[in-house]
Amino acid sequence: MKRCSLVLLGTVGLVVFPQQAWANAGTPLMWATASHLVIGNALIGLLEGLLLGWWFQAPRGRAVALMIAANYASAWVGGVLIRGAVVGSLPMDLNNGWKWFWIMAGVTYCLTLVLEWPFMTAALQRKPGWMKRSVGATFAVQSVSYILLFGWYWLGSGTSLYTKTQIVMPQDLSLPESVSVYYIAPSDGGVYRRALAGGEARKVFDLQSTNKNDRLFVWTSPANTNLWDLMALLEGPEIRAPKVLSVLTNLNVDGSPDWRGGPDDPHRVEGTWFNFGDVPALGSATNSSWEFRAGFWSADGLRVSRRATDEWFRVAYETPFGAWAVRNAVHLPSDKVLFQLGDDQVCAFDPVERRVALLWRGKGPVAVIEKRGIE
């Protein structure tokens, strides 16, 4: 009993480790996953084997060896199946992501029961009534270890998108009516324009985009610096050799240029994956006390701060059952933020009310303030 208590204490202590991982060396979830796959399975298998011996009188040496093998098998098979095949095929978005998180937590628990039950039977088969006992032992022992493992991954995950904010409908955000958004539609790869506050999308250019790293951006027109050109960056067949295309020229709008490059140096412009960092301000947002920064990792999400009060918080989502990075963000007038969440979710965030909405599906969004006659 004393030995079992020490193992339990050590396992719980190991759970707090992800909180200490340095962000520039990966995310806490990456460390949690690596630690689990390499050494965590051995510790949990040891705990489960000792519990089998303690609660169900299984031979401890045999039980420990079998449960260590069971945990490595279920972790690797389950990881490939759940994270590689199942999660990638789920119709997951901002509106249902939290529901899918809890569904997949239940699915992985059930999968663990199924995958590790044969090992339980092998550990107990020399005892009278071993078949019936193995079922009870599976539920009892796996429930203990799964709670610990769930806590381990929970501490390593970033869930503030759902736990610290409210998911609402687009009309609940009071988005500025003067702003329009150009974006690439995932359905046909074309460039569309629509009013941020609502309205129909209108196709303006047949871009034929196929790469998730493609995006739009604007820079001042070389012919007239009071006007703006809408540009597209398309990933080419060679890595780090994107193509920059002109989509629309001489737009009578206010825009927020990409700080990395301009007409004189277009090759410095990055695609979606590297379009993170300090969020540029559009129009009157340049005078705002709010500041935003898109982090590199999904766990970094959107960092929100306010100079007047020194308050800050983070909006992020990175779990074993899904992760979305924040990219292509812009600080809008009225202190809302427009950004791309994951591969193709165009979202808006209100830092005052801490509310987030999925506006529509798209990638590489660019917000502009409408002036007269833009058709």
Residues 118 and 20 in one domain: yes
Residue 64 inside a domain? The answer is yes
pLDDT at 239: 64
Residue 251 inside a domain? The answer is no
Residue 284 inside a domain? The answer is yes
Give the C-alpha separation, 178 to 29, whole Å. Answer: 40
Pair of tokens at residue 117: 């039950």
Give the C-alpha separation, 356 to 354, whole Å. Answer: 7
pLDDT at 128: 75
Domain end residue (candidates: 157, 178, 199): 157
Residues 47 and 121 in one domain: yes
Residue 172 inside a domain? The answer is yes
Residues 81 and 33 in one domain: yes
pLDDT at 284: 93
Residues 185 and 294 in one domain: yes
Give the C-alpha separation, 308 to 369, whole Å. Answer: 27
Q: Residue 226: exposed, middle, or buried by beta-carbon count in 10 A (0-12, 13-18, 19+)?
A: exposed
Residues 91 and 182 in one domain: no
Residues 311/305, Cβ–Cβ less than 8 Å: yes
Residue 72 inside a domain? The answer is yes
For 51, half-sphere exposure in the C-beta direction (CA atoms, 13 angstrom radius) is 22
Domain total in the chain:
2
Q: What is the mean pLDDT, run by run of 10 residues, along the chain of 375 residues?
A: 40 40 67 90 95 91 94 82 74 96 93 92 79 89 95 95 97 94 97 93 97 95 90 81 90 88 77 95 94 96 91 95 96 96 98 97 96 55
Give the C-alpha separation, 183 to 232, whole Å. Answer: 10
For 115, half-sphere exposure in the C-beta direction (CA atoms, 13 angstrom radius) is 20
Domain end residue (candidates: 114, 138, 157): 157
Residues 45 and 188 in one domain: no
pLDDT at 14: 40
Residues 207 and 294 in one domain: yes
Residues 89 and 185 in one domain: no
Residues 183 and 55 in one domain: no
Domain end residue (candidates: 107, 128, 157): 157
Residues 105 and 22 in one domain: yes
Residues 198 and 63 in one domain: no
Q: Which domain holds residue 286?
A: 166-215+269-370
Residues 296 and 345 in one domain: yes
Kindly report the pTM of this predicted structure. Answer: 0.87
Residues 115/70, Cβ–Cβ less than 8 Å: yes
Residue 129 inside a domain? The answer is yes
Residue 253 inside a domain? The answer is no
Residue 300 inside a domain? The answer is yes
